[in-house]
Amino acid sequence: IVHEADRLQLLVDRLLAPHRHAPEVTDVNIHEICERVRALLLVEHPKGLTVRRDYDISLPDFRGDREQLIQAALYIAQNAAQVMEPQMARGEPAEIVFRTRVARQVTLGKQRWKLALELHIEDNGPGVPAELRDRIFLPLVSGREGGTGLGLHLAQTIVQAHQGLIDCESVVGRTSFRITLPLP
């Protein structure tokens, strides 16, 4: 708990004063990020939520800010878990899947990359309402009562700072957020 509180305080400091703190770029393993987020989800939702893993273990490490990437994945996964809380309360299956894959010949922004990693965060919840799909990454847009509408916007900002892309496909019963990041 202390480690998580320290990590969040550091993240808030960096979000509020980005000019004061340079990104802490190190070698990052995407599966370590997924495992950290998975552990946090299971602590928050100990009953009724299943978090599965489907990893491509051949993915290499890449350069990035580990704490920021944990936070981006956590924003997405927490949204999925929160939107499935009514399912869990009714005793219906609620599942989140972390899936990693390699992508070849990917254009991110205006740059072409031979290799990129894809992190899919999928859930079997009610889906993103059609009227919000085109706006979910905008600040202050939320489909959930009490939501701030900042999580997905901040996740997108973090991913873009890593030269990546985030997108979403959603239908009732399956929502998939895909984070694509370049590999060296």
Closest CA to 77 of 40, 107, 108: 40
pLDDT attached to residue 16: 57
**pLDDT by residue (tens digit) across 3-23?**
877 777 776 665 655 445 567
Distances (CA, A) of 157 to 11, 163, 166: 13, 10, 9
Largest CA-CA distance found in the chain, in angstroms, rounded: 47
CB atoms within 10 A of CB 53: 12
- Residue showing tokens 């894959």: 101
More confident residue, 10 or 38: 38
Give the percent of the chain with pLDDT over 90: 65
pLDDT bin (cut points 50, 70, 90) of residue 144 is low
Judged by average pLDDT, the poorest of 9-18, 90-99, 124-133 is 9-18
**pLDDT by residue (tens digit) across 42-59?**
999 988 999 999 999 999
pLDDT bin (cut points 50, 70, 90) of residue 140 is low
CB atoms within 10 A of CB 73: 25
Query: End-to-end CA distance of the chain, in Å?
Result: 34
Cα–Cα distance, 66 to 51 (Å, whole number): 21
pLDDT bin (cut points 50, 70, 90) of residue 62 is very high
- Global confidence as pTM: 0.83
Q: What is the mean pLDDT of residues 109-119?
A: 94
